[in-house]
Amino acid sequence: MQRVIMIVLAGCFLLLLSGCGGNDSDRIGEIEGQITTLQTRAAALESQLEEEHARVTELRSQIATLEDTEEETLAIAYLNIERAFSVFTDAVSDLRERATTKQEEFISLQEQYQNKGISAEEYQDKNNQLLIEVLQAQIDIDMGTIDRMIASSGFSDVRSNLEQLRDQAQTVIVDEVKRLAATIRVGVINPQEFESRYTQVKNAFTQLDQSLTQAATSKIVEAAHKIAQKNGYDLVLQSKNVIIYGDTRTITDITDLVRHEIALHL
């Protein structure tokens, strides 16, 4: 601003010098006109300078904002649900080993029959018995898992639902399998009746297993949500059928953290 005023005064001084010796009235009018022109230019220049100053101030503010807030990136994690789910299966590993043994016995019987090592009648009797024993071992796994969930503080919010599920399974599945096994041992059931009763109890077990899987999965999701909030993740993906490639420098596997969270409450 001061610089603009000095420019105007200097211009006026030069005009006065150049006008010495002429008609004073004409010179004064000419000088006044030129002064007015200079003042107009000075005002325009001053306005332009103020605009440029405002732009510089805005740019400085933007630069300061960028410096204060580093470039933000989306924090992404992923979860292997199957591996996380193994926390529940590990809790009943002894029951799973028993079921595996029974399954191996069943496969061995199939191979023995195919190799004509036993008669068709003997095979049918043993096959029905092993079918029941394999199913019983699978039911024991689910019932054992339910018992552990009920005893766990992490499932306190759904404990009543789990207790109801266990009571229903005891009546509809466990007791019926025991009755069917006893009938097989005494040999007083025809193949059609066995197949019908076995199919019914097998379907009931499938529904039980699905309900149990849903309850366990909900706790896995709950644990993942808690860990994501705690560690500042913006997005958690399921690795199976979702992630084809993930750079470990920018995407983190939280499966072990979820497993640990579940194990603490199981």
Tell me if 75 sits within 8 A of 237, measured CB to CB.
no
166/146 Cα distance (integer angstroms): 7
Q: Helices (H) and strands (E) in the chain — how many of each?
A: 9, 3
Q: Could you report the per-residue pLDDT of 100-109, keeping only the tens digit for each? A: 999 999 999 9
Instruction: Give the angle subtended at the CA of 130 by the CAs of 128 and 133, to the nearest 5°.
Output: 115
Position 24 scores a pLDDT of 61
CA distance 56 to 38: 26
Is residue 13 scored above 70 in pLDDT?
no
Whether residue 50 is predicted with pLDDT greater than 90 in this model: the reply is no
From the list 207, 212, 216, the residue with the least C-alpha distance to 86 is 216
pLDDT-derived band at 236, boundaries 50, 70, 90: very high
Question: Predicted confidence band at 4 (pLDDT cuts at 50, 70, 90)?
Answer: very low
Strands 235-238 and 251-253: unpaired
Sheet with 76-79: strands ordered across? 235-238, 76-79, 251-253
**Token pair in block for residue 176:** 């019926």
Q: Which helix (H) or strand (E) holds 17?
A: helix 2-18
Q: Quick check: 19 pLDDT over 60?
A: no
Residue range 162-169: mean pLDDT, rounded: 96
> Do residues 167 and 211 lie in contact, with contact meaning Cβ atoms separated by under 8 Å?
no
DSSP conformation class of 238: E
Could you read off the pLDDT of 81-132 as tens digits, one per residue?
999 999 999 999 999 999 999 999 999 999 999 998 899 888 988 999 999 9
Separation CA 202–CA 212 (nearest Å): 15
User: What is the percent of the chain where pLDDT is above 70?
Assistant: 82
pLDDT above 60: residue 136: yes
Average pLDDT over residues 14-27: 54
H/E stretch holding 236: strand 235-238
